[in-house]
A and B are shown apart, each in its own frame.
Chain A
Amino acid sequence: MGYARYFRRNWQMYALLVLPITFFIIFKYGPMYGVQIAFKDFNFFRGIGGSEWIGLDGFREVFANHDFYLTLRNTLMLNFLDLIVSFPAPLILAIMLFELKVVWFKKLSQTILYIPHFISWVIIGGIVYQLFGTQSGMINNLLMSLGFDAVPFLSEKNYWLITYLLTGVWQSAGWGTILYLAALTGINKELFEAAEVDGAGRLKRILHITIPGIKPTIVTLLIINLGNMISIGFERPFVIGNLAVREYSDVLSTFVYRIGLESGQYTLATVVGLFQAVVGLIFLLAANYISKKLTDESIL
């Protein structure tokens, strides 16, 4: 079949692809032009082209900055803990939802679980501070009226870490179930029936059919998460963090915001961004490689 004929037959598919590809070119590849800022002494008024090349001076300055290492450590730490706490949550939820047989209850639970995902972090931050404040938070008011001491959920770094992680679970676990639920529907129903006939209990069925059935999805998501270890969203640490816990809550994204947008040192901010991109790529490839070796599952 010649190209012309092939194209005539399938042109609709290519037409559909135009929009996403344009999106990537404009929003993902186009801005890479700006990466050169990392190697220039960026001057607001001369623009990218007019600023002078400074080689690796920007990198030297960033790597000599004590805050860079602190925020790098925090980024990895928060992401790693998040992986441990937040990664299994949607999986467990999805399996629980999958086991539910009452359709209306299942639908209702799913909807309720999804909702937090659609609330902006700024609002969640407001709610968290109203609930967990030491002096005027609802939880502590309750604790104190029961005769306990107030717990510094937000102002002591280790308690803060717990607050941060659990807020994350609350916000994202429900939404995270979607992919698993989709994968679960792909498991052959006959396997479950056969297992039931052979006398396998619910737990056995989950362990030996459900989980192996969605293993590729789990591995894929794990790889993606590992690839993102070095990058961290801005809103969550920014709105949940505060001055008393900066030691933990200051991460690369808030660091970039502070030196870039707030202090106008775009060179340094771009250096950090480029660093994150390169390390993120390495992480992703490494995770993919290891996964390929161990489980034969990979995404590349």
Chain B
Amino acid sequence: MANGHSKGKLALGLSAVLASSVLLSACSQNNSTSASDGGSEQAGSLKIEVFDRGNAPAGLTASDNFLTDYVKESFGQPNNIDVEFVPIPRSEEVTKLNVLMASGTDVPDIVFTYDSGTFNKYAEQGGLTDLTPLLDEYGPNLKAFLGEDTLKYGQYEGVQYSIPAKRSTVGKYASFVRQDWLDKLGLPVPTTTEELYNTLVAFKEKDPGETGGKVIPLGMTIAPGQYESLIWSFIQPVTEQERFELTQTLSSRDYPVLLPGFKDAVQYLNKLYNEGLISKDFALDENKETLTQNIGSGLVGAFSEDNDNIFYPEGAYDLLLQNHPDAVLTAIDPYTNSEGKHAKPVAAPNGMYIMVPKSSEHAVEAIKYLDWMASEDHLMYIQNGIEGEHYTLEDGVPVAIPNLSAESTNKLMGGGDIGIIANGRIFESQEKNNEAFVKSFKPDYQDIIAKSLDISNTDAIEPVYTSRPIEAESKYGTTLSEKAKQLIVKSAMVSPAEFDATYESMLKDYMGSGGQAILDERKAAYSEQQ
């Protein structure tokens, strides 16, 4: 790091300030001409954000593949619109978008985020196009597809500043246990928190997987898929007012930190940790890599997870079966709350927020594009590929054809990321949505996925809906979601004797870092609503 020219170091010292400003220096604004001047007589152009997950097969990219070509041919050419896809790394979704939005010039015409705080901030700062008139004029199919229920999630103070994607299934979490371990020990499938606990103790003491002492009875991480099922089962019943005021929505997820029972939940986690029943390094595993490895190598006895995650090709279940062909997982729903229910959070009926920046001159084309996607069978094609090659229709629901050739598989690449108006496959009824979800996986897994999906929708706790955005949540969301995780981690990892002191000091820090501001604003918002 130390490099000759000493006096230059002075300038270097000064340049520390650049960290945040270098990206903004090119920030000359030109938000002059805005959307409404149609401009369809000449060839239009349209830049569309697309998530780059870094997993494109050789020779393809997130912005240039079979499906992007399909969009260009099927939507671009007939409408005389030049379509371009702008890749954004999935993991830097918000940071990259912030930089693009601030640059003003390079920003795509269609951008999106899963983060409600980010959407609210853009809307509040006046950076988004009001889509109401455009939707009425150019988006009849889109409106019909999404419906008023979904569309309301895209409003900011009553103005349609975004198009929310529609979610096909709202269920999030299920839990799983190694059935072969249970059978070996002659144990029943755990159906309550206590039974699960006894099972975990038995897994630890008897090591049915013959892991040589490396057994992880309950696989844990600090990702929501693993801890939320457990934590929410400790939350006490509350009135509708308490629920509104005490919930904290951080980065689009409801955190129960202030709800009664949260402390008991963390204390239970502390007990499990100190008894050696959960992954020792759960605090280091934010992206579930270690957990996936450990499940795959047959060290984990039970775990909670997103209802679909382990079933994807090369996912944890595939790995487990490669290493231990006799292994069997059973989907379970053990965590029980004080009312005997298996309460767990589900997602909002909307997916990401699709936005058109105010600086965009192609708002009309943007809505036309989304409307095109919602019309005829375009979304079906984007999500499922070609009938006969990728799927067959059974009762109107596409069933994946197994063992596709590499060429065929490549054609499907990026479908979920291009079909931005929907999260999952959407049909006329919830039953069909569920069926399509299940049948998109390989036949061997379909039974357990159906059960997993069912569990994830049992005793659902829906997200709290606020008709006006809570400003403190946009402001402190990122910091506080981090603080909440820190609270869980630190409190879980201390000795039981130190638990109370650690928990209280972490909670104090949380409240001081914006938790109190959110609480105050929510209380005010609730009395306003009355």
Whether both chains belong to one complex is answered with yes
Binding site for B on A (CB under 8 A): 24, 27-35, 37, 43-50, 65-67, 129, 133-136, 150, 152, 154-155, 172, 175-176, 179, 220-221, 223-225, 227-228, 230-231, 234, 242-244, 246, 253, 256, 258-266, 269-270, 272-274, 276-277, 280-281, 284, 299-300
For this complex, 9 residue pairs linking A to B, each with C-beta atoms less than 8 Å apart, are A31-B17, A33-B21, A44-B122, A135-B280, A155-B283, A234-B19, A243-B485, A263-B476, A266-B21
Q: Which of B3-34 contact A (CB under 8 A)?
A: 4, 6-22, 24-25, 27-29, 31
B20 near A30: Cβ-Cβ < 8 Å: no
Query: Among the listed A155, A244, A273, A284, which residue makes an inter-chain contact with B20, where contact means beta carbons less than 8 Å apart?
Result: A273
B29 near A45: Cβ-Cβ < 8 Å: yes
Contacts of B14 in A (CB 8 A): 28, 32, 277, 280-281
Query: Among the listed A66, A260, A269, which residue makes an inter-chain contact with B513, where contact means beta carbons less than 8 Å apart?
Result: A66
- Asked if B101 is at the interface (CB within 8 A of a chain A CB), the reply is yes
- Asked if B286 is at the interface (CB within 8 A of a chain A CB), the reply is yes
Instruction: Known A220-B6, A277-B17; judge A155-B284 contact (CB<8 A).
Output: yes
A37 near B293: Cβ-Cβ < 8 Å: no
Q: Which of B169-192 contact A (CB under 8 A)?
A: none
Instruction: Known A134-B280, A134-B281; judge A221-B2 contact (CB<8 A).
Output: yes
Q: Which of B200-235 contact A (CB under 8 A)?
A: 214, 216, 222
- Asked if B411 is at the interface (CB within 8 A of a chain A CB), the reply is no
Top 5 closest pairs, chain A to chain B, by CB: A34-B21, A47-B29, A45-B127, A299-B6, A273-B17
Please choose the segment from B63-71, B305-313, B486-494 that sits at the chain A interface, where 4 or more of its residues have CB less than 8 A away. Answer: B486-494
Instruction: Known A269-B20, A284-B10; judge A261-B222 contact (CB<8 A).
Output: no
CB nearest to A263 among chain B residues:
B478
If A179-B4, A262-B95, A277-B14 are given as contacts, then 12 extra A-B residue pairs at C-beta distance below 8 Å, sorted by A number, are A31-B18, A34-B25, A45-B357, A49-B29, A224-B2, A227-B13, A228-B9, A246-B486, A266-B102, A270-B21, A273-B16, A284-B10
Q: In the complex, how many angstroms separate the beta carbon of A30 from the nearest chain B beta carbon?
A: 6
CA distance A259 to B6 in the complex (A): 32
B25 near A244: Cβ-Cβ < 8 Å: no
- Asked if B43 is at the interface (CB within 8 A of a chain A CB), the reply is no
Binding site for A on B (CB under 8 A): 1-2, 4, 6-22, 24-25, 27-29, 31, 94-95, 98-99, 101-102, 104, 118, 121-122, 125-127, 214, 216, 222, 279-281, 283-284, 286, 290, 293-294, 357-359, 475-479, 482, 485-486, 489-490, 493, 509, 512-513
The SS class assigned to the A binding surface is helix
Number of A-B contacts (CB under 8 A): 204
CA distance A266 to B294 in the complex (A): 40
B281 near A264: Cβ-Cβ < 8 Å: no
Query: Among the listed A155, A242, A256, A284, which residue makes an inter-chain contact with B19, where contact means beta carbons less than 8 Å apart?
Result: A256
B9 near A227: Cβ-Cβ < 8 Å: yes
Contacts of B294 in A (CB 8 A): 136
CA distance A81 to B242 in the complex (A): 47
CA distance A30 to B1 in the complex (A): 23
Q: In the complex, how many angstroms separate the beta carbon of B219 from the nearest chain A beta carbon?
A: 11
A129 near B7: Cβ-Cβ < 8 Å: no
B13 near A45: Cβ-Cβ < 8 Å: no
Q: In the complex, how many angstroms separate the beta carbon of B206 from the nearest chain A beta carbon?
A: 19
CA distance A273 to B19 in the complex (A): 7
Contacts of A150 in B (CB 8 A): 280
CB nearest to B127 among chain A residues:
A45
CA distance A274 to B22 in the complex (A): 13
CA distance A258 to B478 in the complex (A): 7
